[in-house]
Amino acid sequence: MFTHPFDIVMVPMQILIFLFTLYFFIIGFCGMWRRHEKKILTPQKTFAIIIAAHNEHAVIGQLVKNLQQQNYPKGMYDTYVIADNCSDDTADIAREAGAIVCERTHPTKKSKGYALDWMFARLFKMKKQYDAVVVFDADNLVHPNFLLEMNNRLCKGDKVIQGYLDAKNPYDTWVSGTFAIAFWVICHISHLAKSNIGLSACLGGTGMCFDVEILKRHGWQATCLTEDMEFTMKCMAEGIKTSWAHDAIVYDEKPLTFKQSWNQRRRWAQEQFDAGNRFIPKMLKAGWKHKDIRMWDECIYLMQPHFLMISTIFIIISYIQLAFPPFYTNIYTFLPSQLMTAIVFGQYILPMIILFKIRAKWKAWLYMLLYPVFIYSWIPIIFLGFIHRNEHEWSHTKHTRAMSMKDIVGNVKNTSSFDK
């Protein structure tokens, strides 16, 4: 069956790489359109907005003030700030801006997941109760219709919802620009695409909305490095998918320097390996038990860093083989050349289609020239993430620049029609 000594390893590896690539390629094209939706525009749900903040004095005030501009009845939502192990004046600034501040200190449990778990427990004991909980990061800005869009999804029966993660500074530097392109691409070829075909999106750490009964019933208890991914998998194992709200937009600050980008992505890689170790076996078992393709899809999502590592190892081996007589069979020579060409060019064509769809500025098209640098720098980051996958310290990006909605009008998605 095998004609070369390493075929027993290399042939299955190539088949796995091809199937993964084809799967993501097909899913990606499903994000090139949107389903028509008749929205419920009458406010019905009440919201508790939660912001976990660790030494965020530079940005917390702008977010709290920004949230006061929601196109939603003021009596139907409250904003809570968790001043988590802060050594600055984050708490005072948040109070002055109008938030309800809850201060938390713990010598070891310092991650965002612990902070949210602590806050939810307090929230459920309060006299005032809410229909849903929304979570933001301190450096965010939020579209005025965010709560209205989440209200629409909740009224239609969705229980766990992720909003559109946009960038508030996509044109500052080539690093923030390529970072923004990556987020725009993921929002379309992953979240929107899966939503279009009935699969589950994945929580993104901010812009998340939860039906409060789901949190009470299952508990947050998501305290690993990726509390968002952990909760996504816990819910999916129970058959509760994460819905996608494409018009509930959050504007997130992207790193300005390559070093900041590197450190943040390394932390994300650590987080995904950590979550994968916990949930890949569980999702495989749950998918087999329930015969639910959504669970298997989430398992594939968790395997992405492993897939990148395997692909990198294969590429290195393929270059080594050039210096020696063939020691494995290259199965790609037996596949239609047109298919392979489409897959290779698709990874560049799809982002360009998305830039056109969102009407990105000319700078974004220039940043596309450096987009491969951003993409391929993931390779060493993934390996470092694997090595450091068991580290659990909250290592957040330091924010020093406050921006308001006025600063981003016209630069990012759906900001041309308002000025706040």
Per-residue exposure over 318-327, b if at least 16 CB sit within 10 Å of its own CB, e if not: eeebeeeeee
Contact (Cβ atoms closer than 8 angstroms) between residue 170 and residue 256: no
Structure tokens at 108: 């070891």
Residue 347 lies inside a defined structural domain of this protein: no
pLDDT at 419: 43
One-letter amino acid for residue 207 of the chain? G
Mean pLDDT in order along the chain per 10 residues (420 residues): 78 90 89 90 96 92 95 96 91 94 84 87 93 95 97 96 95 94 94 95 94 88 72 88 96 92 90 86 88 91 92 89 84 75 77 91 93 92 87 60 72 54
pLDDT at 392: 58
Residue 131 lies inside a defined structural domain of this protein: yes
CATH of residue 196's domain is 3.90.550.10
Residue 39 lies inside a defined structural domain of this protein: no
pLDDT at 231: 87
Q: Provide the whole-model pTM.
A: 0.89
Residue 85 lies inside a defined structural domain of this protein: yes
Residue 260 lies inside a defined structural domain of this protein: yes
Whole domain around residue 192: which residue ranges?
A: 47-276+395-408
Tally of structural domains, the chain: 1
pLDDT at 420: 37
Per-residue exposure over 292-316, b if at least 16 CB sit within 10 Å of its own CB, e if not: bebbbbbbbbbbbbbbbbbbbebee
Residue 288 lies inside a defined structural domain of this protein: no
